[in-house]
Structure formats: structure tokens, C-alpha cells
């Protein structure tokens, strides 16, 4: 059976069917991401503190450029097919797939950085101050404010805080992933070698909260007794509300990138046969895939400033 | 309504795509640059960042997705989507000021 209106437009809509279909699908996608953006707004407005500077902005910026580039290459692929140049269209499609893979690869690296980055909290004030003295040579107010800044950003560090709530961020020797206090206790682990992030200072306000937070192995490892801690968590979704919504939004977006890459890979590897018999149909298929891809780019255009910068 | 089928028109379109590409890269750099400038007013920072993002999304949707020259049925679909999207946002805003009886906010 032949599927109708894959090339010629329907008289009532003026469009081939797949185009109407993709726009209806994108309409549902707007509502899906809209619901998550609304959740973000609610969580953020309702939070006492909202962390800043926990993500790597240069990497995020580069990834945004990668996705923008892929949006251009996919529209160029469609334009090439429209002009009857399959070879050029396929080349642009290949570039789009490479950009998609680069985006996912970079995102994976970012995720891995989070899964190996930890926050610990001591059971009592004495434990905190002793660790600060050992790690940084003093436990003065500036050091403590710098520690708060590592968790919440420099603006939040200006607020009064309770030393008992102080979370010290850093890495565990060997960069293990997903460790938690419950896991360490279950494994009867008595100590961990913890390398704390340097406390941020106001002079670093403009040039690298995130760079500090991402620094690996910059500091000496210090032995921390697991029994002295009442909290230890990697930067995973349950660590705080910010990471919960960050992973939900970017995870869903990454799933869309992977989905788009699979569709475009299909067109890249198997589109040649259709081009020989029905070039217009292949061109329309690529247009539909491209519309989805541009939508994925559109979502990221909002996600990037909302999660990385604001 | 522009016709994307003629080679001459497509060549013109490609020039537009390239211009938009540069504008999108610049828009991203501008947003990041403003972050590093660190405007003390949070509302102003959010407003500027969202305006830049909206301009970028207009360029992508308008030109890459050809929305500036589409058929009525797509506009109708998107108008309906926009209505429900805004309604969703309005419900979110409403919920921020409409708490159940006896709710305490920050101890008050």
C-alpha cells in the first residue's frame, strides 16, 4: 500500500503529511519541556538558596556552539538535497551527526565531572574547623565564606551561615563515582582520602567560580574518618534541588539529541537507495528530521543560560 | 510566502543561514560575556539573558525552521500550543501566590 502525501501536498493543509505530523509532535514537545521549565521556576523561587557556579561555563559555551553549528549543517544538508546535490547533502548530514556525537560526548564528560565531585559535612563544628585548619591552614570567616561559595556561589556566601551546615566540596582520591555515606558504611570503609576545593575568594568572582569547582587533584589529599561525617554525596540528582532539575532537564534533552542522531544516521546510511527512486521524499524526510533537530537546538538555547549562567 | 524550491531562492536562503549562524554564535558569546561582567541586579541579568535567548530562538524558528513563511495550519497548531504553554506558565505563577489555608511561608 502506498502512503499518501509523502511528496505532494494535501489540498486542505497545503503540506505533505509528515510535516503536519512533525509539527504536532513538536507542539507536544513544547508542553513537555514547558512543564519541566515551570518546575524549574517553582523550585528556584521556592528555594532558600540557589547554587551558582557549579557548572563549567567554557565547556557549556563550546557545547552550545557545537549544537548551533549542527543546526546550520542540517539546514544546509536539506538545501543541498533540494538543489539536487546528494553528495553534498550527505556530507552536511555527516557533519551534523558528528556534532551530535560531540555534544553527547562533552555532556558525558560534564556528567562524569559531577559524579566524581563530592560534598561532605562533618557531624559537629569541631570536626569542620579541625579539617579546615588541616587543609587550609586556618578556619577564619573568610575561609568559611569561601567554602560556602564553593557550594552556593559567591553571592550566597555573603549571607550569614551556620558552621554546622558547612559542606566542604572536593574530590576523593581515585575519583570514584556515586559514593555515598550509606555505601561507605555498608562496605565498612573507615576513611576516605579527600582533596578539598580551594575556598573561593571574592577576587575570583568574575573569572572562575566554576573553574575552581572543577579543579582536579589540585590539593593534597586529607584523611577523613567516615564516622566523623553525617553527609557525603557526589553531585548526583539527589544531592540538591538544583542538580535534580539540572539532570532532569539536560538528561531529557540529551535523550532527544541521541534520538535525533539515530534518525539522521539512518538517513545517512540508508538514504542513498531512496534518493535513486524518490529524491523528493528523501528531501522531505530530511526536512522533518531537521525540524526536530532545530527544536532540540531551541530547547538548549534556553537551557544553557538558565542552568549555567543565571 | 517564499518558495524554497528554486535554486536561486535557495542560494539566497543559504546566505541568510550563514548570517544567522554568525548571529547565533555572537548571541551565545554575548550572553556568556554578560555573565562575566556580573551585573549586580539579578532581575536585569535574567531579563537580558532571556531576551538574547528569545532573539536566538526567533532566528532558529523563523529561518532554519522556515516559520516566517509557513502554511496556516502550522501557525494554527503553534498558536494553540502557545496558548496552552502560556496557560501552564500562568498556573505556575498563580500557584506561587495561592497557598492552601494555614500554610506558613518562612515561618510567617
Per-residue pLDDT tens over the stretch A259-291: 999 999 999 999 999 999 999 999 999 999 999
Question: What are B76-89's pLDDT values in tens digits?
Answer: 999 999 999 999 99
Tell me whether residue B102 is in a domain.
no
More confident residue, A47 or A189: A189
- A72–B21: do the CB atoms touch at under 8 Å? yes
More confident residue, A239 or A150: A239
Q: Where in chain A is the domain with CATH 1.20.120.80?
A: 30-113+242-309
Tell me whether residue B106 is in a domain.
no
Task: Please report the pLDDT score of residue A178 as a whole number.
Answer: 93
A61: nearest CB among B10, B28, B91? B28
Q: What is the pTM of this model?
A: 0.90
Written out in words, the top-level CATH class of the domain with range A30-113+242-309 is mainly alpha
Q: Which positions in chain B touch A15 (Cβ < 8 Å)?
A: 71, 73-74
Q: How far apart are CA A21 and CA A24, in angstroms?
A: 5
Tell me whether residue B105 is in a domain.
no
Residue B6: pLDDT band with limits 50, 70, 90: confident
Tell whether the model's pLDDT for residue A64 goes beyond 80.
Answer: yes
Tell whether the model's pLDDT for residue A212 goes beyond 60.
Answer: no
Task: Please report the pLDDT score of residue A191 as a whole number.
Answer: 94
Tell whether the model's pLDDT for residue A60 goes beyond 90.
Answer: yes
Which position has the grid cell 535574567? B46
**Number of domains forming the structure of chain B:** 1
3-state secondary structure chain A: CCCCCCCCCCCCCCCCHHHHHHHHHHHHHHHHHHHHHHHHHHHHHHCCCCCCCCCCHHHHHHHHHHHHHHHHHHHHHHHHHHCCCHHHHHHHHHHHHHHHHHHHHHHHHHHHHHHCEEEEEECCHHHHHHHHHHHHCCCCHHHHHHHHHHHHCCCHHHCCCCHHHCCEEEEECCCCCCCEHHHHHHCCCCEEEEEECCCCCHHHCCCCHHHHHHCCCCCCCEEEEHHHEEEEEECCHHHCHHHHHHHHHHHHHHHHHHHHHHHHHHHHHHHHHHHHHCHHHHHHHHHHHHHHHHHHHHHHHHHHHHHHHC
- State which residue of chain B sits closest to A40, comparing Cα positions: B92
Residue B108: pLDDT band with limits 50, 70, 90: low
Tell whether the model's pLDDT for residue A226 goes beyond 80.
Answer: yes
Residue A254: pLDDT band with limits 50, 70, 90: very high
Question: Which residue out of B7, B22, B30, B31 would a mutagenesis test of the A interface target, given it has the greatest number of A Cβ atoms within 10 Å?
Answer: B31
Domain range enclosing B69: 7-97
Task: Report, as an integer, the average pLDDT of A220-235.
Answer: 93
Tell whether the model's pLDDT for residue A217 goes beyond 70.
Answer: no
How confident is the prediction for chain A on average, in pLDDT? 90
Amino acid at each position: 500500500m502506498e502512503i499518501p502525501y509523502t511528496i505532494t501536498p494535501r489540498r486542505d493543509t497545503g503540506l505533505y503529511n509528515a510535516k503536519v505530523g512533525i509539527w504536532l509532535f513538536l507542539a507536544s514537545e513544547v508542553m513537555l519541556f514547558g512543564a519541566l521549565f515551570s518546575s524549574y521556576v517553582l523550585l528556584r523561587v521556592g528555594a532558600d538558596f540557589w547554587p551558582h557556579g557549579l557548572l563549567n561555563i567554557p565547556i557549556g559555551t563550546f557545547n552550545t556552539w557545537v549544537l548551533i553549528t549542527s543546526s546550520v549543517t542540517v539546514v544546509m544538508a536539506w538545501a543541498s538535497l533540494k538543489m539536487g546535490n546528494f553528495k553534498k547533502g550527505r556530507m552536511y548530514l555527516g557533519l551534523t551527526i558528528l556534532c551530535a556525537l560531540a555534544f553527547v560526548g562533552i555532556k558525558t564528560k560534564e556528567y562524569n565531572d559531577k559524579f566524581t565531585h563530592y560534598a561532605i559535612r562533618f557531624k559537629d563544628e569541631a570536626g569542620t574547623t579541625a579539617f579546615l585548619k588541616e587543609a587550609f591552614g586556618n578556619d577564619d570567616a573568610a575561609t568559611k565564606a569561601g567554602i560556602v561559595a564553593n557550594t552556593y556561589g559567591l553571592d550566597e556566601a555573603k549571607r550569614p551561615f551556620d558552621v554546622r551546615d558547612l559542606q566542604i566540596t572536593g574530590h576523593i582520591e581515585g575519583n570514584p563515582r556515586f559514593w555515598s555515606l550509606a555505601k561507605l558504611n555498608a562496605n565498612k570503609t573507615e576513611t576516605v582520602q579527600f582533596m578539598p576545593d580551594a575556598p573561593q575568594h571574592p577576587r575570583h568572582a568574575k573569572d572562575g567560580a566554576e573553574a575552581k569547582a572543577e579543579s582536579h587533584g589540585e590539593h593534597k589529599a586529607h584523611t577523613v574518618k567516615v564516622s566523623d561525617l553525617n553527609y557525603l554525596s557526589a553531585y548526583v540528582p539527589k544531592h540538591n534541588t538544583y542538580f535534580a532539575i539540572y539532570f532532569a532537564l539536560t538528561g531529557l534533552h540529551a535523550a532527544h539529541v541521541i534520538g535525533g542522531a539515530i534518525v539522521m544516521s539512518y538517513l545517512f546510511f540508508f538514504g542513498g537507495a531512496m534518493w535513486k527512486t524518490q529524491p523528493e521524499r528523501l528531501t522531505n524526510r530530511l526536512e522533518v528530521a531537521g525540524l526536530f533537530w532545530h527544536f532540540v537546538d531551541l530547547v538548549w538555547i534556553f537551557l544553557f543560560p538558565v542552568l549555567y549562567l543565571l | 510566502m517564499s518558495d524554497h524550491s528554486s535554486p536561486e531562492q535557495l542560494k539566497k536562503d543559504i546566505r541568510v543561514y550563514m548570517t544567522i549562524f554568525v548571529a547565533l554564535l555572537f548571541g551565545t558569546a554575548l550572553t556568556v560575556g554578560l555573565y562575566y561582567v556580573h551585573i549586580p541586579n539579578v532581575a536585569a541579568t535574567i531579563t537580558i539573558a532571556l531576551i538574547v535567548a528569545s532573539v536566538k530562538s526567533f532566528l532558529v524558528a523563523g529561518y532554519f525552521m522556515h516559520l516566517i513563511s509557513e502554511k496556516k495550519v502550522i501557525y494554527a497548531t503553534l498558536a494553540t500550543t502557545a496558548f496552552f504553554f502560556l496557560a501552564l506558565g500562568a498556573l505556575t505563577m498563580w500557584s506561587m501566590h495561592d497557598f492552601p489555608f494555614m500554610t506558613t511561608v518562612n515561618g510567617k
